[in-house]
């Protein structure tokens, strides 16, 4: 029987617009883009030029520090443009899809007899190493370092997150092959949701642990903190559940097929559902006639807490498993702001009446309250208030207020001592959501981890 870990700290945010479990139809657009900035911590070097023809899985650029680590095209087609910024920094590579989906092939490699070095090299050359990250620093993993463990979370507790039981239920053969490959690198810890029947409970070659509790219990960082905290000098790898399937497809079929099931979600979506998409797809065609009303909307590549804001003609980032759409709120003007006793406003601090009505009895009579959500900050930035509000939503054995203060002041010694090695921006997203001081905590963590990597490695 799997071990059970229960957390009480956290917060499930009731956002409308969860995707129904059906696959929508859409035609892949002609234009795709690879944006190197999404692959945090690398220095890209091009291997193609404008006009070159590429296959799905063909290398487009590589990491200057680790030349074997390639980044590959998601589709077959032609390199339409290589856009550069200041000091010739590569901003994006536009690829025109030819509609044929020709795959680059890789020689067969039997997992049973393969060594760790062979597995790592194959993942680097195929472009799939980009989907393996590491703690500390939350960057693409260093292939020359042997980790003490690989962590995979089979479920996502973020608002409106896709249901991996539905998304991956018919792809368990590829998922198992991906786990088998990762197990050649280090012992694999697989987190599953407690209290529900899930296909991940029967996965072999992994140490399975069940988790119960509110978001962010599905975050791999929370699971690492409870099972194998990262101390100085240690490294763990992390891989998202859908990305494990990419690895399995490579070893089962010999091709790099980056097709993933993406949930189109949010209160501004007419019919939230799932779509089969590829990384770097231009979302303009997908979203056509799918957004409610005429208000200004925010399109988020990812979930509502940690995703990136993209324009209407922007591109899906390579790690996103959902697209969320909410109103910007620019046209909303409210009398007395937060001071009015509003019904359809959510507040963790019970400042509004609605959360008080979210009892089991009241839900049975009136149903769930449909909260009004938009992208407004609802306040201004101010000094950090030591109120313990971060501790209520971060189920990790650290002192978040003190860690954030050390990060703001760039005190590397205190950052090390207070747990910065095992934290990532996504782990503090709820802290940012409930923050009375309106501090950009995810940005603070990201910049601090980059500083630590630069100064301590």
Spatial strand order in the sheet of 59-63: 44-46, 59-63, 70-72
The pTM score is 0.94
Domain of residue 440, residue span: 400-456
Residue 158 lies in a domain: yes
Residue 323 and residue 192 share a domain: yes
Residue 103 lies in a domain: no
Residue 297 and residue 205 share a domain: yes
Residue 320 Cα to chain centre, angstroms:
6
Residue 304 and residue 223 share a domain: yes
Residue 141 and residue 119 share a domain: yes
Residue 299 has which token pair?
A: 């399109």
Residue 272 and residue 409 share a domain: no
Residue that finishes a domain, picked among 332, 351, 381: 332
Residue among 249, 258, 305 nearest 278 (CA): 258
Per-residue pLDDT of the chain (457 residues; tens, 9 = 90+): 579 999 999 999 989 999 999 999 888 889 999 999 999 989 999 999 999 999 999 999 999 999 999 999 999 999 999 999 999 999 999 999 998 999 999 988 999 999 999 999 999 999 999 999 999 999 999 999 999 999 999 999 999 999 999 999 999 999 999 999 999 999 999 999 998 899 999 999 999 999 999 999 999 999 999 999 999 999 999 999 999 999 999 999 999 999 999 999 999 999 999 999 999 999 998 999 999 988 899 999 999 999 999 999 999 999 999 999 999 988 777 776 666 666 777 777 766 665 555 655 555 555 566 777 899 887 788 888 778 899 999 999 999 999 999 999 999 999 999 999 999 999 999 999 999 899 999 999 999 999 999 999 8
Is there a contact between 318 and 303 (Cβ–Cβ < 8 Å)? no
Number of folded domains that form the chain: 4
Give the number of residues written for the chain.
457
Residue 42 lies in a domain: yes
Residue 280 and residue 181 share a domain: yes
Residue 236 and residue 117 share a domain: yes
Is there a contact between 209 and 2 (Cβ–Cβ < 8 Å)? yes
Residue 233 and residue 316 share a domain: yes
How far is the CA of 341 from the CAs of 166, 317, 337, 436, in angstroms?
A: 40, 39, 10, 19
Residue among 344, 277, 286, 389 nearest 14 (CA): 344
- Residue 360 is predicted with a pLDDT of 56
Residue 371 lies in a domain: no
Is there a contact between 125 and 68 (Cβ–Cβ < 8 Å)? yes
| CATH code of the domain covering residue 47 | 2.40.50.100
Residue that finishes a domain, picked among 349, 366, 383: 366
Residue 380 lies in a domain: no
Residue 326 and residue 348 share a domain: no
Residue 280 lies in a domain: yes
Residue 246 and residue 158 share a domain: yes
Residue 218 and residue 163 share a domain: yes
Residue 122 has which token pair?
A: 């194959």
Residue 436 has which token pair?
A: 């009375």
Residue 394 lies in a domain: no
Residue 387 lies in a domain: no
Is there a contact between 212 and 189 (Cβ–Cβ < 8 Å)? no
Strand partners, 133: 140, 238
Is there a contact between 248 and 181 (Cβ–Cβ < 8 Å)? yes
Residue 296 and residue 445 share a domain: no
Is there a contact between 183 and 210 (Cβ–Cβ < 8 Å)? no
């Amino acid at each position: 029987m799997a071990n059970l870990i229960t957390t009480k700290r956290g917060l499930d945010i009731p956002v409308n617009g969860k995707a129904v479990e059906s696959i929508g139809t859409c035609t892949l657009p002609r234009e795709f883009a690879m944006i190197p900035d999404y692959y945090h911590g690398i220095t890209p070097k091009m291997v193609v030029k404008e006009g070159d023809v590429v296959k799905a899985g063909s290398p487009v650029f590589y990491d200057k520090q680790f030349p074997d680590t390639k980044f590959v095209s998601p589709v077959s087609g032609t390199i339409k443009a290589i856009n550069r910024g200041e000091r010739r920094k590569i901003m994006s590579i536009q690829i025109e899809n030819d509609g044929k989906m020709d795959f680059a092939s890789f020689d067969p490699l039997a997992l049973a007899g393969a060594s760790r070095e062979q597995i790592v090299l194959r993942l680097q050359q195929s472009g799939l190493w980009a989907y393996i990250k590491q703690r500390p620093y939350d960057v693409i993993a260093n292939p020359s370092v042997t980790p003490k463990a690989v962590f995979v979370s089979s479920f996502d507790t973020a608002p409106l997150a896709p249901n991996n039981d539905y998304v991956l239920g018919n792809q368990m053969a590829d998922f198992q092959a991906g786990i088998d490959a990762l197990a050649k690198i280090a012992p694999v810890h697989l987190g599953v949701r407690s209290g529900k029947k899930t296909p991940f409970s029967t996965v072999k070659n992994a140490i399975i642990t069940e988790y119960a509790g509110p978001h962010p219990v599905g975050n791999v960082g929370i699971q690492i903190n409870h099972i194998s905290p990262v101390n100085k000098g240690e490294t763990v790898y992390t891989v998202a559940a859908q990305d494990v399937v990419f690895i399995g497809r490579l070893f089962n079929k010999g091709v790099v097929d980056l097709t993933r099931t993406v949930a189109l979600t949010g209160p501004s979506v007419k019919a939230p559902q799932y779509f089969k998409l590829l990384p770097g797809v231009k979302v303009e065609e997908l979203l056509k006639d799918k957004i409610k009303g005429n208000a200004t909307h925010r399109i988020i590549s990812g979930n509502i807490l940690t995703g990136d804001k993209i324009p209407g003609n922007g591109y899906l980032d390579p790690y996103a498993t959902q697209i969320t759409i909410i109103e910007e709120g620019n046209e909303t003007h409210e009398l007395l702001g937060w001071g009015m006793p509003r019904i359809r406003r959510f507040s963790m601090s019970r400042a509004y009446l609605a959360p008080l009505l979210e009892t089991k009895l009241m839900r049975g009579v009136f149903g769930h309250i449909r909260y009004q959500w938009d992208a407004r900050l609802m306040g201004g930035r101010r000094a950090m208030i030591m109120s313990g509000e971060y501790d209520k939503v971060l189920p990790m054995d650290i002192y978040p207020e003190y860690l954030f203060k050390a990060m703001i002041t760039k005190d590397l010694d205190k950052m090390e001592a207070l747990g910065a090695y095992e934290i990532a921006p996504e782990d503090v997203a709820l802290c940012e959501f409930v923050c009375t001081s309106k501090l950009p905590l995810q940005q603070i963590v990201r910049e601090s981890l980059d500083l630590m990597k630069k100064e301590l490695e």
